[in-house]
Amino acid sequence: MSKMTVGLISSAHVHADSYVEILKSCDAFHFIGVWDDDQNRGKRFCNLHGVDYFDRFEDLISTCECVVVTSENVKHKEHIIKCAGKVKGILCEKPLAPTIDDAQKMIEVCAKQGTNLCTAFPVRFHPVSKRVKEIVVSKELGEIKMIISTNRGKVPPGWFTSPELSGGGAIMDHVVHVVDFLRWSTGKEFRTVRTSLGRQINKGLQVEDCAILELKLEEIPVTLDCSWGMPVSYPYWGEVKIRLILEKGVIEADVFSQNIVFRSNESHHEEWINYGDNADEVMLLSFADFIRYGTDFPTAKDGLEATRVVEKAYESVKLNREVVIHGEER
Amino acid sequence: MVKVGLIGAGFIGQVHARSLSKLSEASLEMVYDINVKSSQRIAKEYKARVADSFETIIKRCDAIVLAVPTDVRHTYLEKAFKTGKPILCEKPLARTVEEGEWILRNVKSTHCIFTVGHVVRFFPEYVNIRNQVLKGKVGDVCEVRSFRGGPLPDWSSWFKSFKRSGGSILDLAIHDIDFWIWVLGKVKKVSARSLDRSENITKDHCYVLLSFENGALAHIEATWAYPPNSPFRTSVELTGSKGSISFNSTDFSPLSVHIEEKSFTESPAYLDPYAKMMKSFVNSVIKNSEPEVTVEDAFRSLEIACLALKSAQKESECLVEGKV
């Protein structure tokens, strides 16, 4: 099996570092290089990871069968449209887009140009997530009655806190992971959302950093805490925790908790080192399989549905009431 | 497709059968156990055949998994070595150093692929700890402590006989002995104590203190002293010149499921450590390459564990290579 050629469009997103290390060393891909609309940033990134930088977008895209797009949220549309028709597949960093309109436009252009557009949702590729879905689908514990979830983290660096580049704060950054996991594991759609903002945790940010969403996943009440509330000294980047209350029992998942603890003589706080299977790696290998064999992978439609929840969550803040995501207004 | 034959259908034999069922490159062909019911149960669950004798397995299969009690491997191995077929032998390598030497000699003269079930080397948390040490994260390793155990195994009675199993030192502490040798290299001195070396062990607990040639100390604790139904636990604490690493199997719970009378916790992985170990064995069979855990590795660990037994018996320190 020959390797699939792949390029990286923009190194803006923090996940680009993890992706490029996997893409350049795994069997499925032949990594071609990086193009970035910020040349300095792109060159720095390439130096750090020992990969090639391309000055011209066309030079990169013409040698790639697929690309991974890790630009700032609001630039996804421009970059996806630029790539559409030139590659077989695009894996776009989450959220697919900051607005439903952007997401729909991207989907439309890619469909017309015959390019497969996918969304990077690594959480569903973690073995803990797979097991949770298995148990839920088996119906061994009956129907789900309620879901309590948290995807909290530290404040991300750089453009994430500039609304003109990110499109929003903690809600924009963190809601889509758990939303996608729950849609995927239950096969259900979200109906309504009501967002409560808390007091700002990190002073001086231009975007929200403390929010809890109340959702209805069909009839199931769900809460989702997406805050950037982890202190600097927290030993890990954050958490994805999901508690499912079912008819006959409770499932508790702490997805990124397979950790050993490191304490350094040079720092006053501990560090957790994860030893679990690498969800990013499984996701990227599955993306290659999807492009080659059409096997299951989160599509742009899944990205759009997650973005729909995000946009409605912001609408709920603005209107200060529950907002319908799918279905009739009550 | 590597056709594997399983000799020994007890607790660990069942684990190996499950591992084989997860691999696409191998299949469980036949099962043999002196207890026909045990082999029938596994054969049924994993769609294998029951062999009428272990010789049939040795004759018909491409590779052999030997999961019989520690003290009775000899008979099976003698015939297996004659065919030169690949063998995965459960840990510890043998009950005594002499038996271990006999195995070592035979593996060398027959050039067969031979590996030993030191599965801790396939547990991702232990592999990660070793990698952190190798890349210098903690600096020079000065002292390590590890813990392993829970209640006395209740699935089979041979563990309770010290003559057969070697008690908590040879059956349990050997895992950590092997792991720390893998991380820290050669052992210089051994001092150990254990509670019960009788023919009817009811509870046992041991410590094994290793001094390494590089200066590091290892305090290994293994136990069968906890009340029935206590959880099996493992932990590691490692102190280096630049910092420490710790791991405790009960600190994090990636997945816990609470159901009436059958709650459980899990640490999900695409391939569990036992399946990874089996995959590694099958790979070396397919590629005719040296296994990840060699017979020399297992022999070295056995030697140290047996020295620990001697130290516990004599209640004194033992130097490696007879420098007492």
Write the ipTM. 0.91
In chain B, residues with a C-beta closer than 8 Å to the C-beta of A145 are none
User: Cα dihedral angle (A196, A202, A206, A207), rounded to 10 degrees?
Assistant: -30
Say yes or no: B270 contacts chain A, CB-CB below 8 A: yes
DSSP A105-140: HHHHHHHHHT-EEEEE-GGGGSHHHHHHHHHHHHTT
CB A240 within 8 A of CB A177: yes
What does the pLDDT read at residue B257? 96
> Is there a single domain that holds both residue B189 and residue B56?
no
Instruction: Give B133 to chain A, closest Cα distance, Å.
Output: 11
User: A170-207, pLDDT tens digit by residue?
Assistant: 999 999 999 999 999 999 999 999 999 999 999 999 99
Both tokens assigned to A50: 């020992």
User: Contact B244/A253, CB-based, under 8 Å?
Assistant: no
In a domain, B45, yes or no: yes
B143, pLDDT greater than 90: yes
What is the C-alpha to C-alpha distance for residues B60 and B27, in angstroms, rounded to an integer?
A: 13
CATH classification of A124-278+308-324 is 3.30.360.10, yes or no? Answer: yes
Nearest 5°: the CA angle B231, B233, B235 is 160
* Total Cβ atoms within 10 A of residue A285: 17
In chain B, residues with a C-beta closer than 8 Å to the C-beta of A244 are none
Residue A12's nearest CA partner among A79, A65, A62, A66 is: A79
User: Contact B269/A262, CB-based, under 8 Å?
Assistant: no
What is the C-alpha to C-alpha distance for residues A245 and A266, in angstroms, rounded to an integer?
A: 43
A277: closest chain B residue by CA: B269
- Contacting B with CB below 8 Å, chain A residues are 127-128, 130-132, 135, 140-141, 248-255, 257-266, 273, 275-277, 282
Closest CB to A252 among B124, B256, B270: B256
Say yes or no: B195 contacts chain A, CB-CB below 8 A: no
* Phi/psi at A140 (5° precision): -60, -30
Q: What percent of chain A has pLDDT over 90?
A: 97
CB B141 within 8 A of CB B243: no
> Is there a single domain that holds both residue B154 and residue B261?
yes
Which contiguous run of DSSP H or E holds residue B297?
A: helix B295-314
Q: What percent of chain A has pLDDT over 70?
A: 99
Confidence band for A85, pLDDT divided at 50, 70 and 90? very high
Say yes or no: B226 contacts chain A, CB-CB below 8 A: no
CATH homologous superfamily for A4-120? Answer: NAD(P)-binding Rossmann-like Domain (3.40.50.720)
- Split into its structural domains, chain B has a count of 2
In a domain, B113, yes or no: yes
Confidence band for A56, pLDDT divided at 50, 70 and 90? very high
User: Contact A127/B124, CB-based, under 8 Å?
Assistant: no
User: Contact B258/A266, CB-based, under 8 Å?
Assistant: no
- How many beta-carbon pairs below 8 A join chains A and B? 93
| pLDDT, mean over chain A | 96
Helix and strand counts by DSSP (H, E) for chain A: 10, 14
User: B89-139, pLDDT tens digit by residue?
Assistant: 999 999 999 999 999 999 999 999 999 999 999 999 999 999 999 999 999
User: A270-292, pLDDT tens digit by residue?
Assistant: 999 999 999 999 999 999 999 99
Amino acid (1-letter code) at residue A33 = G
User: B269-324, pLDDT tens digit by residue?
Assistant: 999 999 999 999 999 999 999 999 999 999 999 999 999 999 999 999 999 985 43
End-to-end CA distance of chain B: 50
What does the pLDDT read at residue B170? 98
B264: closest chain A residue by CA: A251
Residue B91, classified by CB atoms within 10 Å of its CB into exposed (0-12), middle (13-18) or buried (19+), is buried
Buried b (16+ CB within 10 A) or exposed e, A38-49: eeeebeebbeeb
What is the C-alpha to C-alpha distance for residues A62 and A60, in angstroms, rounded to an integer?
A: 6
Residue B262, classified by CB atoms within 10 Å of its CB into exposed (0-12), middle (13-18) or buried (19+), is exposed
> Is there a single domain that holds both residue B107 and residue B164?
no
User: B178-218, pLDDT tens digit by residue?
Assistant: 999 999 999 999 999 999 999 999 999 999 999 999 999 99
What is the C-alpha to C-alpha distance for residues A279 and A221, in angstroms, rounded to an integer?
A: 28
Instruction: Write down which residue in B86, B118, B150 finishes a domain.
Output: B118
Segments of chain A assigned to CATH 3.30.360.10: 124-278+308-324
> Is there a single domain that holds both residue B23 and residue B103?
yes
In a domain, B6, yes or no: yes
The half-sphere exposure of B239 on its side-chain side, counting CA atoms within 13 A, is 9
> Is there a single domain that holds both residue B218 and residue B318?
yes
A1, pLDDT greater than 80: no
* Owning domain of residue B242: 120-268+295-322
Q: What percent of chain B has pLDDT over 90?
A: 94
Compute the 3-state secondary structure of chain A and give helix, strand, coil in percent, each to the nearest 5.
40, 25, 35
* Total Cβ atoms within 10 A of residue A327: 12
What is the C-alpha to C-alpha distance for residues A306 and A179, in angstroms, rounded to an integer?
A: 6
What does the pLDDT read at residue B20? 98
The residue-averaged pLDDT of A221-230 equals 97
Closest CB to A258 among B241, B257, B267: B267
Q: Coil, strand or helix: which one is A299?
A: strand
What is the C-alpha to C-alpha distance for residues A210 and B106, in angstroms, rounded to an integer?
A: 67
| pLDDT, mean over chain B | 96
> Is there a single domain that holds both residue B135 and residue B238?
yes
The residue-averaged pLDDT of A46-62 equals 97
User: Contact A128/B254, CB-based, under 8 Å?
Assistant: yes
In a domain, B152, yes or no: yes
In a domain, B280, yes or no: no
Segments of chain A assigned to CATH 3.40.50.720: 4-120
Closest CB to B246 among A128, A257, A261: A261
Residue A236's nearest CA partner among A122, A115, A152 is: A152
Q: Which of B179, B237, B253, B255 to mutate to test the interface with A (most CBs of A within 10 A)?
A: B255
Instruction: Write down which residue in B76, B95, B118 finishes a domain.
Output: B118
Which contiguous run of DSSP H or E holds residue A41?
A: helix A39-49
User: Contact B253/A254, CB-based, under 8 Å?
Assistant: yes
* Total Cβ atoms within 10 A of residue A302: 21
> Is there a single domain that holds both residue B299 and residue B167?
yes
Instruction: Write down which residue in B72, B98, B118 finishes a domain.
Output: B118
User: Contact A260/B244, CB-based, under 8 Å?
Assistant: no
Closest CB to A262 among B124, B243, B258: B243
* Phi/psi at B261 (5° precision): 65, -5
> Is there a single domain that holds both residue B110 and residue B135?
no
User: Contact A275/B258, CB-based, under 8 Å?
Assistant: no
What does the pLDDT read at residue A330? 61
The residue-averaged pLDDT of B21-38 equals 97
> Is there a single domain that holds both residue B102 and residue B126?
no
Both tokens assigned to A88: 């077989």
User: Contact B267/A282, CB-based, under 8 Å?
Assistant: no
Say yes or no: B252 contacts chain A, CB-CB below 8 A: yes
Helix B295-314 to helix B97-110 angle (10° resolution) is 170
User: Contact A249/B267, CB-based, under 8 Å?
Assistant: no
User: B52-72, pLDDT tens digit by residue?
Assistant: 999 999 999 999 999 999 999
> Is there a single domain that holds both residue B103 and residue B157?
no
CB B140 within 8 A of CB B250: no
Which contiguous run of DSSP H or E holds residue B312?
A: helix B295-314
In a domain, B274, yes or no: no
Taking the alpha carbons of B109, B112, B116, B121 in that order, is the dihedral positive or negative? Answer: positive
> Is there a single domain that holds both residue B33 and residue B145?
no
In chain B, residues with a C-beta closer than 8 Å to the C-beta of A247 are none
In chain A, residues with a C-beta closer than 8 Å to the C-beta of B251 are 261
User: B249-278, pLDDT tens digit by residue?
Assistant: 998 889 999 998 889 999 999 999 999 999
A128: closest chain B residue by CA: B268
B122: closest chain A residue by CA: A275
The CATH number linked to B211 is 3.30.360.10
User: Contact A282/B270, CB-based, under 8 Å?
Assistant: yes
A267: closest chain B residue by CA: B243
* Sheet of B205-212, strand order: A271-274, A259-264, B243-248, B233-240, B141-151, B217-226, B205-212, B187-194, B318-319
Residue A179, classified by CB atoms within 10 Å of its CB into exposed (0-12), middle (13-18) or buried (19+), is buried
Residue B114's nearest CA partner among B173, B65, B185, B70 is: B65
What does the pLDDT read at residue A328? 77
What does the pLDDT read at residue B243? 96
